[in-house]
């Protein structure tokens, strides 16, 4: 099933895949990419304007992204930018549709599946949403979603994230939590990745440490790895100019 999406601009398709528990609006700071690329951002199933599907597995989401590109008439290979859950989906796109990828940017994400403890936490979070609602979960997640510098110095970013997350329906959140808990190990997908790949991590990210992302980047032949200072997990919102510079330079050097 196609996903709700927005597109602007012309040129090489550049597709933005959002994090959990947000939606495509988290990529508003990256709107200027539409000046040079065909910028596309999607909402995963149940989030924002997308309808919920029976499964919210990472593979279902990946298939939804590709259906959406088909329905938008995107025939050529696209560049994908996936942040955290968006990166999990991007790895599924690389597994199932390797021929559709021109280049991949993995931001604040991991190829490893959940540990037993991580899976249990997802189940606990599902129960929190069912019993206490989405807002309760969002308040519990907010401290880790953003870096300590952002919590101290960028109150508007904290409010943006809170606003987008609180707007999500409980069913979307629960579906995505299940989908993320069921993820399999994608390390071998990284080993086989043939396209240019960018890996970016926030120095203050406590959800996925920079050292883990560096290890992922080393598995990919044609890759580069960068750490952005003074940001945490949602670095595209925390210091958009830093991420945008990295993506722009990567595209100029490796893709155009
Ligand atoms: C995200 O930002 O998408 C989440 O932190 C991913 C996760 O919970 O594993």
pLDDT at 82 over 90: yes
For 183-216, what is each residue's pLDDT tens digit? 999 999 999 999 999 999 999 999 999 999 999 9
Beta strand spans in the chain (E): 5-8, 13-17, 38-42, 78-83, 101-107, 197-202, 223-228
Mutation test residue for ligand 1: of 84, 111, 137, 147, the one with most atoms within 8 Å of CB:
84
Span from the CA of 195 to the centroid of ligand 1 (angstroms):
24
Residues comprising the chain, all counted: 256
19 CB less than 6 Å from ligand 1?
Answer: yes
85 touches ligand 1 (CB under 6 Å): yes
190 CA distance to ligand 1 middle (Å): 19
What is the rounded radius of gyration, in angstroms, for the C-alpha atoms of the chain?
Answer: 17
How many whole angstroms separate alpha carbon 5 and alpha carbon 156?
25
**180 CB near ligand 1 (under 6 Å):** yes
pLDDT in tens, 30-40: 999 999 999 99
Mean pLDDT score of the chain: 97
Question: Is residue 207 lining ligand 1, measured as CB closer than 6 Å?
Answer: yes
Cα 68 from Cα 49, distance rounded (Å): 13
For residue 256, pLDDT beyond 90:
no
Whether residue 9 is predicted with pLDDT greater than 90 in this model: the reply is yes
Q: What is the pLDDT of residues 120-165, one digit of tens each?
A: 999 999 999 999 999 999 999 999 999 999 999 999 999 999 999 9
Q: Residue 67: pLDDT above 90?
A: yes
**Percentage of residues in the chain with pLDDT exceeding 70?**
100
Torsion of CA 141, 146, 148, 154, to 10 degrees: -120
Q: DSSP letter at 157?
A: H
**Above 90 in pLDDT, residue 110?**
yes
pTM of the model: 0.98
């Amino acid at each position: 099933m196609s996903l709700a999406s927005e597109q602007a601009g012309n040129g090489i398709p550049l597709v933005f895949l959002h994090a959990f528990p947000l939606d495509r609006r988290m990529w508003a700071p990256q709107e200027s990419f539409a000046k040079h690329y065909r910028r596309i951002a999607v909402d995963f199933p149940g989030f924002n304007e997308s309808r919920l599907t029976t499964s919210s597995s990472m593979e279902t989401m990946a298939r939804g992204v590709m259906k959406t590109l088909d329905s938008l008439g995107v025939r050529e290979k696209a560049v994908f930018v996936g942040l955290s859950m968006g990166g999990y989906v991007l790895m599924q796109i690389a597994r199932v549709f390797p021929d559709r990828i021109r280049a991949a940017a993995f931001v604040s994400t991991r190829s490893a599946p959940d540990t037993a403890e991580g899976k249990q936490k997802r189940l606990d979070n599902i129960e929190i949403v069912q019993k206490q609602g989405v807002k309760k979960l969002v308040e519990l997640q907010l401290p880790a979603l953003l870096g300590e510098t952002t919590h101290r110095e960028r109150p508007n970013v904290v409010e943006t994230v809170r606003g987008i997350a609180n707007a999500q329906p409980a069913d979307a959140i629960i579906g995505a939590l299940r989908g993320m808990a069921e993820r399999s190990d994608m390390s071998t997908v990284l080993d086989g990745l043939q396209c240019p790949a960018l890996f970016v991590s926030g120095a203050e990210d406590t959800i996925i440490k920079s050292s883990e992302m560096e290890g992922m980047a080393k598995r990919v032949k044609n890759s580069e790895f960068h750490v952005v200072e003074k940001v945490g997990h949602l670095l595209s919102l925390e210091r958009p100019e830093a991420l945008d510079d990295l993506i722009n330079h990567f595209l100029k050097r490796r893709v155009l």
